[in-house]
Amino acid sequence: MAASAFVGSKYGILIRSDLKWSSYEYFRVFLHEISHIFCTVNEIEGGGFYDKYCQGSGIEDGIINAGYAVWREAIADITADAVCSDMASISLKNVRNDIVQLYDMISSSNPNSKKCMSIIIAYLMISSEVAGTENWYEAEKAIRNNINFKDDFIYRIAEIVFKNLNNGDFWTITLDFIVDLGETYISLLTNKFFN
Residue 71, amino acid: W
Rounded distance between C-alpha atoms, residue 160 and residue 92, angstroms: 19
- For 170, residues 6+ apart whose C-beta sits below 8 A from its C-beta are 75, 78, 79, 82, 164
Tally of residues, the chain = 195
- In this predicted model, what pLDDT tens digit does every residue of 43-66 receive, in sequence order? 999 888 888 888 766 666 789 999
**pTM, whole model, 2 decimals?**
0.90
State the number of CA atoms in the 13 A half-sphere of 165 facing the CB.
29
Rounded distance between C-alpha atoms, residue 104 and residue 106, angstroms: 6
Q: What is the b/e burial string over 10-26, where b = at least 16 CB atoms within 10 angstroms of the residue's CB? A: eeeeebeeeeeeeeeeb
Domain limits of the chain?
A: 3-194
Question: Which residue, 139, 168, 167, is CA-closest to 155?
Answer: 139
- In this predicted model, what pLDDT tens digit does every residue of 3-17 receive, in sequence order? 777 777 778 787 887
State the number of CA atoms in the 13 A half-sphere of 187 facing the CB.
13
- Residue 33, phi-psi category: left (phi > 0), alpha (psi -120 to 50), beta (remainder): alpha
Rounded distance between C-alpha atoms, residue 187 and residue 192, angstroms: 9
- In this predicted model, what pLDDT tens digit does every residue of 131-187 receive, in sequence order? 999 999 999 999 999 999 999 999 999 999 999 999 988 999 999 999 999 999 999
